[in-house]
Structure 1
Amino acid sequence: MVSSKTAATTASCAKRSKEQRLSKADRSSYFARREAAKVLQCVLQGDAKRRAVGSIKSLVYSPSVRNKKATFALVCQTLKHLSIIKDVLDSARILNAKWKRQEGLMYIITYDILFGQEISSYGDAEKFLLLQKDAIQLALARLLVRKKVKRVEDLMALYQIPDVSKPRFVRVNTLKLDVESAFHELGKQNMVQKDDMVPDLLILPPGSDLHDHPLVRNGSVFMQGKASSMVAVALGPEPGWEVLDACSAPGNKTVHLAALMKGKGKIIACELDNERVKRLEDTVRLSGAANIEVLHGDFLNLNPMDPSYSKVRAILLDPSCSGSGTTAERLDHLLPSYAAGDATDVAGTERLNKLAAFQKKALEHALSFPAVEKVVYSTCSIHQIENEDVIKSVLPLAASHGFQLATPFPHWPRRGLPVFEGSEHLLRTDPVEDKEGFFVALFVRKSIARSLEQPIETRKNKKVKSAKRNVTMNYNKSVMPFPFTRLSKLLLHSHLRLQTCKKLNMST
């Protein structure tokens, strides 16, 4: 006979064996839900404060997230059903204070119970909600009656949001990989084209899945939109320069600056928010850029006269904005604030006025750094109050500091709204035509523009001659100075005539 002790031991071993058989798939799902819950919690907190740490995509692409594809899908699906999930949980009244503090995880698990995959009771949160499964399903049935629909599919259709189809843009991180190699590698699985305006940008078909691609995971390429990639190119920093990125996180533009500078010189990446600093540092590490110094602080508190910034020659200012031009790209249409009607409210007065006031203050501050030669101001907004109105308001101050507007990407067809003289030098992208709405303004120090007009004969030596010729060539490719294009010819010819007269007098 088998003793009771032996029987108990056998039963215990059998239980452990069963748990081990189930554990591989269950543990995988367990950790996937935790990763998704962490991203969702961050997104919801940022949305509630109207200050996001990053977009859904940028948070999912963080190096800390292992299963990016599953996490992205679970976060997006939970957000799409969030209004239903909240109604169900509120109606069921099953969440105590402990579980309410983990709302992200509660939403993720509830989504799986109602609409997703079958889950096991692996994990305390899963055990708790599975015990309440009948109450959750009853609350859903009541919601169907209240919304006057018969099927879950009909209920889901009430909250269905159409997907936005746009090409997948990929910026090659030339600090790690050249464009041709990236083109060849990505071309093994996708149709790839080179962008005609941004040299290191590649275009893939809509829906191209690169979540777990080795080049994305090791930082050789960054998934970055075309308009966003145009900003650093518009600033055009040269290798060896010292550059200040005023509002850096999540850091895509920052590391693009580093690539354009070939890893030489110095970039001061300023960011105020604690969580966004962490995201910025992750991006910098992933890029491999060694010339970026992350500064945890408020850009507005930096003293332009501090010797620490006496060599800063260019500033990229991409301040907090409404994000109205990239709601589809950022998946903002899935957020509670959008569903509650704040998306239309964003165009309204109070929030936009506050944003515009901050944007103006930040731009004025950027223009006050004495050694700065170029300042780029950009937003992902479609609103005039954040774009043309901000630029118009700072023009007198800019002129007093010796700045003038220049034209980034002269061949780009969409320019600023015609609300002031010179607005044609501003750049806009269109949410419909270009699938994202961006705005870019470039200020250039007048003395720099004038230096480009001096004839070669006045330059002191071959080194200076060569350097200035390169500056002129590079400058003319990306920007057109304003309003010196006609005057420069007159100055050039008058100078040459003066030099000729002097030589004739000396010879006689």
Structure 2
Amino acid sequence: MKAPRRESAVQLARRQAAHLLRNILHGDTTRSANASIKTLIYQPSIRNKKATMALVCQTLKYLPVIKEVLENAEVLKQKSKMHHVEDFYVATYELLFGKEFEATKDIEDFVLARKSAIRAALARLMVKKKVSRAEELLPAADCNFGPRVRYVRVNSLKIEVDKALEMLRETLLVEVDDLVPGLLTLPADIDLHTHSLVLNGSLILQGKASCLPALALAPEADWVVLDACAAPGNKTVQLAALMQGRGQVLACELNEKRIKRLYETVDVAGASNVKVMHQDFLKLDVNDPVLSQVKAILLDPSCSGSGTVYRRLDHLLPSSANSSKEPGGVDAQRIQKLANFQKTALRFALSFPVVERVVYSTCSVHQQENEDVVSAVLDFAHDNGFRLGHPIPQWQQRGLPVFEGATNLLRVKPSEEMDGFFIALFERNSSVTVSSDDLLLRKYNQENDEHYIITSAPVNVGHFVVLPVVGSQKCKHSIVFIVCTLTDLVGLYLDYISKKAYGLGRILTLMRWLYGTLPLDSASYLNRSIMADKEPQCV
């Protein structure tokens, strides 16, 4: 009995490509894909990755043409039910557009036997479309695809940049990025997944755009920093490196599967100043002894991912062409749901008591997830003493001009070299630095612009003091506050104590008197509507 012949490299690539295409196209049709094309190809089970990726990508690139040719040649009507259509897609690509085509199994024999009909169908299609070359049948955007460079970031927690460069340049062509510290560029066809420096955490496979949010946050070395939606952890360990392994980075992640990846990333990177938290960011207690010390927050929440289509190769999927003229077109209802979550998360990040810098970032190209989210929370941010910062000034492309101040926002246009990204930086005004751990400004009636400041004790707010006065009888869980200068505080408070002025009318009288003594720029902490003779609403 003859032993089975060993599968050749060509056979292996075709078989794996057809199998991957089956999964990719099924996931795209059912909107159930949970991994990108590149992720699927770089699975450990896939051998001969370079040839397999080329075959998958080229077949997807020409898929509309291949489908029309096979239909016109009536090839699929004659195929056996035992064979998958993706095998025919791969074989037809090889026959029409590959360098050479040699049949290695029965499906390829089947296609090769009908090569005259297939080639004639392609010729008729080219005449119909009035083109002289098959490449002209493709959309212009698909003529060139895939990254032109590969980015890798040196993990300074484990190795110096100069040392990493010395080791890489022994065998590879490497350049140093002129913006992101420790970021290197290599030719796109270099596969570093199994490189020793990647496996031991000295190098992090991270795109340039993905490096910008941490760079914009620019935390100080001794700060407590929160990475709100941390997995897979590349930005987390970048923050740890920017802080030189000092301070503390709290990495929050809720998803059970993604947090395992986060733990692995942190461990391999040697980021000892990172503490992983398996929690829902929106349910964190801002008064927790550790969380109440957070000085900077990186918020990169769930988004449509529409800016990553070139890196993920999603622009090759049929749905990308059918659903939108923008790369990575997605369902409008889904975008709105994401935007609602993003607004909630950003407001929560801005409510941390002593946070000084908050970066909001997405890998989306959609205005609804970017400028519109920032615009929606601006009033809340201003009420909490924040303004928009101008991150990475040397970056030329800024936000869409949809509101005043949008030029402070940062955009990265998706391309073959970089993912599409969006960054907004919120900085607390130095004149409104809150020293309390539990100060929270809540806007509960936007129509009437009514505010209460809620705190458990007198706290400094710039040159003013927020003083707890009394709880409303109707709203037993709320407290009314007055705001006064330090000069007036002693006399006012003694008057308040001596007369035991616990009645709401007396408090409002004091507020009326006090309001006229405050400069206009600080009066935002004292609402005009509180001056009216009415009970305050509950908060």
TM-score by length of 2: 0.63
- Equivalent position of 2:63 in the other structure: 82
Q: 158, 171, 176: which is aligned to 2:137?
A: 158
Corresponding position: 1:424 with 2:403: no
Q: Is the 8 A contact 1:112 1:119 kept in 2?
A: no
Return the match for 2:125 from 131, 147, 151: 147
Q: How does 1:438-453 map to 2 (within 5 A)?
A: 438-446=421-429
Equivalent position of 1:504 in the other structure: none
Shift of 1:421: 3.1
Q: Residue type matched to 1:83 in 2?
A: P
Match of 2:158 in 1: 176
Aligned length: 424
Contact kept, 8 Å, 1:40 with 1:104, in 2: the verdict is: yes
Per mean C-alpha deviation after superposition, the further-off stretch among 420-429 and 364-373 is: 364-373
Greater helix fraction, Structure 1 or Structure 2: 1
Contact in 2 for aligned 1:268/1:294 (Cα 8 Å): yes
Q: 2:366 maps to what in 1?
A: 383
Where structure 2 has 5 or more consecutive residues not aligned to the other structure, the ranges are 436-461, 463-539
Given the alignment, which residue of 33, 48, 51 partners 1:70?
Answer: 51
Q: Which has the larger radius of gyration?
A: 2
Letter in structure 2 aligned against 1:337: S
Instruction: Give the SS at the match of 2:342.
Output: helix
Between 392-401 and 47-56, report the one with greater CA deviation. 47-56
Change (3 A) 1:335 1:444: same
CA contact (8 A) 1:373 1:445 kept: yes
Does the CA contact (< 8 Å) of 1:44 and 1:335 recur in 2? yes
Deviates more, 1:399-408 or 1:307-316: 307-316
Q: Which amino acid aligns with 2:242?
A: L
* Farther-moved stretch of structure 1 (76-85 vs 341-350): 341-350
Counterpart in 2 of 1:414? Answer: 397
Q: Per the alignment, do residues 254 and 147 of structure 1 end up closer, same or farther by CA in structure 2, a change over 3 Å counting?
A: farther
1:393 deviation in Å? 0.7
Instruction: Show the counterpart of 1:259.
Output: 241
Deviation at 1:262, TM superposition (A): 4.1
Does 313-322 or 109-118 show the bigger shift?
109-118
Instruction: Give the counterpart letter for 1:255 in structure 2.
Output: V
* Structure 2 match to 1:404: 387
What residue in structure 2 maps to residue 495 of structure 1? none
Distance in 1 of aligned mates of 2:234 and 2:381: 27
Q: Give the counterpart letter for 1:425 in structure 2.
A: N
Q: Amino acid of the residue matched to residue 55 of structure 2? A: L
RMSD (Å), alpha carbons: 4.6
How far is the alpha carbon of 1:230 from its aligned partner? Answer: 1.2
- Alignment map for 1:317-328 (pairs within 5 Å): 317-328=299-310
TM-score normalised per structure 1? 0.66
Conserved? CA contact 1:68–1:211, under 8 Å = no
Contact persistence 2:371–2:400 (CA under 8 A): yes
* Matched residue type, 2:159: L
1:331-382 Cα offsets, whole Å, 9 max, x none, are 2321121132434383885454344333223322332344544321112334
Distance between the aligned counterparts of 2:66 and 2:283, measured in 1?
A: 43
Question: Which ranges in structure 1 are unaligned for 5 or more consecutive residues?
Answer: 1-11, 122-126, 453-483, 485-508
State the Cα distance separating 1:158 from its structure 2 match. 1.8
What is the alpha-carbon distance in structure 1 between the residues aligned to residue 347 and residue 294 of structure 2? 16
Q: Which has the higher contact order (CA 8 A, sep 6+)?
A: 1
Q: Is the CA contact (8 Å cut-off) linking 2:301 and 2:342 kept in structure 1?
A: yes
Alignment CA distance shift 1:308-1:227 (3 Å): same
